[in-house]
Amino acid sequence: MSQPLMPSGHHCTVNGGTAACRHVTRRTHENMTDTSVKRWMGDENLTKVSAQRNASDCQLRKNCNTETSKIKSSGLTLTSYTRPPLSSLVSQCERLEEVNACMHKRIMEMEDKAMKNATQQLEQYDRADSNVHAVQIWAQEQIRNAERDLELTRNRSEKRVNVLHLQLQNCEERMQETQKDLQQLQEYRDRGHSVQSLQAAELDRQLLALSELHQDRAADVEALAQREIANVLESHQKLKDDVLEGVVEQQLESVPPSLKRMCLQNQEMKSEIKAHQQMIMDLQDDIKKLLETGESLRKSWKVETDRLCKELLLINPTCPPDEDVVLNIPLNQQMYI
C-alpha cells in the first residue's frame, strides 16, 4: 500500500491510529512578500495582511485535519480486520489516491489563488512605491521652491523694511526740525507779534491808498502825454507839408509854362483814364449780368415751350442708363353693371 501523498509537499501517514501532517511551503515567496509589505505598508496594514494569511493557513490546516481524521477513521477500520481481502485493499488504495488527488487539486488551486493575490499585491506595492517615490520627489521640489520663494520674500521684506526705517528716520528728523521752527514762531508770537501785526496792517493800508493815488495820477499823466504827442505829431505834419509845398512851388517856378501845361494835361488824362476804366468795368459787369439773364430766359423759354407744346411736338424724354424706369401700365379694371 502506497503512502498517501498530498499536493504541495503534504505527506500524510497513518501509524498506530495517529496521523501526522508535515507541511512544506515556499519560504522564499513568504520572505519576499513580508519584505515588500514591511517596506511599503504601515504596521496596521501589515497586521491585516498577516491576519488574512493566518486565516488562510488555519483554513488549510482545518482541511488537512479533516482529511487526516477521515484517513485515520478509515485506517482504524482497516486495522480492525485481521486479513482483509486483496480486492478491498486495492479499492481502499484507489479511494485514497482519489482523495489525495482531490486534496492536491484543491491545495494547488488555493496556492495558485494565494500566489496570484500575492503577485497582484506586490505589483500594487511596486506601483505604490514608484508613485510614492515620484510624490516624494515632487514634494521635495515643491519644498525647495517654497524655501527659495520664502528666502526671496524674506530678502525683499528686509530691504523694504530697511527703506521704511530710513524714511521713518527722515520723517522724524523733518518733524523735529518743524517742531523747532514752530517753537521759534511761538516764541516770536509771544514776544510781540500782535504789535508788529498791527503795524504791518497799517502799512498795508497806507500802501493800498498810495497805490490808488498813484494809479489816478498815472492815468492823468498818460492822458496828458497822449495829447502832447498828438499835438506834436500834428504840428510836425503841418510843418512837413508847408516845407514840401514851398519846395514844390520853388521847383515849379523854374519849370517852363509848356511843361506845366503838359503836367496838368497828364493829370487830367490820368483822371479821365481812371474814370473810363471804372466805366469799362461797370459795363463789363452789366454785360455779364445781361448774358446771364439772356441765358436764363432762353432756358426758361425752352422749358415753358416744352411744357406747353409737349403733346404737339411729340418730344419723348430721354432715359439715361442709370435712371430707374417706372412702367405705368393701366390694368384691366372689372366693370360693374
Residues 250-277, mean pLDDT to the nearest whole number? 84
The model's confidence at residue 327, banded by pLDDT at 50, 70 and 90, is low
Residues 12-25, mean pLDDT to the nearest whole number? 37
For residue 212, being part of any structural domain is answered with no
* Residue 132 domain boundaries: 5-155
The count of structural domains within the chain is: 1
The span from the CA of 215 to the CA of 218, in Å, is 5
For residue 115, being part of any structural domain is answered with yes
For residue 16, being part of any structural domain is answered with yes
Mean pLDDT score of the chain, rounded to an integer?
74
Residues 10-28, mean pLDDT to the nearest whole number? 38
Given this model, what pLDDT does residue 317 score? 57
Given this model, what pLDDT does residue 56 score? 65
The span from the CA of 230 to the CA of 232, in Å, is 6
The span from the CA of 54 to the CA of 65, in Å, is 16
State yes or no: pLDDT of 5 exceeds 60. Answer: no
Given this model, what pLDDT does residue 332 score? 60
For residue 310, being part of any structural domain is answered with no
Type of residue found at 106? R
State yes or no: pLDDT of 251 exceeds 80. Answer: no
The span from the CA of 100 to the CA of 6, in Å, is 5
Cα 64 to chain centroid distance, Å, stands at: 75
The burial of 41, by beta-carbon neighbours within 10 Å (0-12 exposed, 13-18 middle, 19 or more buried), is given as: middle
For residue 136, being part of any structural domain is answered with yes
For residue 254, being part of any structural domain is answered with no
Given this model, what pLDDT does residue 151 score? 92
Report the range of poorest mean pLDDT among 19-23, 78-82, 121-125, 259-263. 19-23
For residue 275, being part of any structural domain is answered with no
Type of residue found at 68? T
Report the range of poorest mean pLDDT among 61-75, 82-96, 166-180, 262-276. 61-75
For residue 178, being part of any structural domain is answered with no
Phi, psi at residue 309, to the nearest 5°? Answer: -105, 30
The structure's pTM equals 0.25
Given this model, what pLDDT does residue 279 score? 94
